[in-house]
Amino acid sequence: MKKHTASQSETKKAESPKENLSQEYTEQTEEAQPSQSSDGSAQAAEPTAEEKAQEYLDQMLRIQAEFDNYRKRVMREKSDLIKYAKESILTELLPIRDNFLRALAALEEHINKENHKFFEGVELIFRQLEQLMEKNNVVQITAHGQQFNPQFHSAVQQIETDEYPENTVVQELEKGYMFHDKLLRPATVVVSKTPIQTNQENNEVSGSGKE
């Protein structure tokens, strides 16, 4: 009995190195395989130092581009603010200019403007106002004789006439102005339209030509 037990012990000792090698191989294989999450899917490998550096560089470039766009937008807004800061004041001066024109027109009808100090004084103030507006880039819109343009003209009346083509500005009731490239006030105008009688004659001529 003792001999049998001893042989079993020797057999176990002889087999133990093989078992150790098998266990080491299994552990190495498991380490080589990608780790899996709890649901069994393989996890992505950790990014390398070079990949992380490239990612940080891309983020920095995006932030720099966003900052450049922000800086340009702020500079543009600041420039526009300075450029159009006087708009409201200049708009309020337009009715004053209109009144000066009416006053000068009335004076010309009732007095002899030559060597008349009052007329000369009013005309001098008006010229100063004109110089102020020109200095601030306020430009008068040319309307009379032009084709009606709703972007620059505000029509309040149409009159029948054959002296002008249809939709032509035949009279300015109130001057229009531009401030830089912005409309300060549209010109209030009267627009032409073809007389009804002329239209009928044209239709009759057109009908007889077809016959």
Q: Output the pLDDT for position 115.
A: 62
Taking CA atoms, 78 is separated from 69, 73, 188, in Å, by 14, 9, 33
Is the pTM higher than 0.85?
A: no
Q: Output the pLDDT for position 6.
A: 46
Q: Output the pLDDT for position 75.
A: 87
pLDDT along the chain (211 residues), means of 10: 48 50 52 51 72 87 90 85 83 91 84 74 90 91 93 94 92 92 93 77 54 50
| CATH number at 141-198 | 2.30.22.10
What pLDDT, in 10s, does the model give residues 34-66?
555 555 555 567 888 888 888 888 889 999 999
Cβ burial, residue 200 (10 Å; 0-12/13-18/19+):
exposed
